[in-house]
Structure 1
Amino acid sequence: MRPEDVRALALLLPEVVEAAHQGHPDFRLGGRIFATLWVEEERVVLRLTPDDQARVLADSPDLFAPVPGAWGRRGWTSLDLWDVDEAALRAVLLAAWRNVAPAALDGE
């Protein structure tokens, strides 16, 4: 997958807008960031729950890594794009989106 794939898939999610955070494109819902795209590095940083993070790290340790420090302990997770398939990217983008989505929008 490529950075433009992240952008396209993230913007398919309800009410998502693209903005910028520290010079990097990010994706937000209601002003809350759920993913930040590092275009040059071909990776995305996702706002997962610690449980979601543990699951993706166990399933694909070659693709995912916790962000260093306290952010990573809170669930923020880095995903390298070059070997991830579309289904996995969609799944983690949705998981990150759900972490910021109000219950009425999420439908759960």
Structure 2
Amino acid sequence: MINGDTFAEMALSFPGTEQKPHFDRMGFRITGKRMFATYLAIDNTANIFLTPSEQALFCAMDAVHIYPVPNKWGEKGATTFQLNRVAKELVLEALLSAYNDVRL
């Protein structure tokens, strides 16, 4: 299981990242750029901002615990990960993909 502290450590492990509140969530972004992930403590989920093609790949791996955010953001690649049910390595890979997309 990945808790909030572990998720924050993972998201902040990439160079130039910072943590900032984002509505009822904690957001993670590259300083001076857009967010690449958010964390919601109340249900221990993360939304990771993937490309639509990356989203399709991750959702195919575990459609029950990894799924598009149910709104327009989800159509653009925002993907929910249930952190109680998804392997740490998979979440780290998704974070790296999202980080690299924002970094470039």
| TM class, shorter-length | over 0.9
In structure 1, distance between residues paired with 2:4 and 2:99: 17
Shift in CA distance, 76/59, structure 1 to aligned 2, threshold 3 Å: same
Structure 2 gaps, min length 5: none
Output the amino acid matched with 2:50.
L
In structure 2, distance between residues paired with 1:31 and 1:22: 18
The question of whether the paired residues in 1 share the 8 Å contact of 2:33 and 2:102 is answered with no
In structure 2, distance between residues paired with 1:4 and 1:81: 12
**Equivalent residues in 2 for 1:55-94 (5 A)?**
55-94=57-96
**Structure 1 residue runs of 4+, over 6 Å off?**
none
Output the amino acid matched with 2:4.
P
Superposition CA RMSD, Å: 1.0
The question of whether the paired residues in 1 share the 8 Å contact of 2:48 and 2:80 is answered with yes
TM-score using structure 1 length:
0.89
> Cα offset for 1:16?
0.4
TM-score using structure 2 length:
0.92
% identical equivalent positions? 29
In structure 2, distance between residues paired with 1:60 and 1:23: 26
In structure 1, distance between residues paired with 2:21 and 2:29: 10
Give the number of equivalent residue pairs: 102
Aligned to 2:47: 45
In structure 1, distance between residues paired with 2:75 and 2:24: 23
Structure 1 gaps, min length 5: 103-108
Aligned to 1:96: 98
CA-to-aligned-CA distance 1:48-100 (integer Å, 9 cap, x gap): 00000000111111221101121111000000000212211110110111121
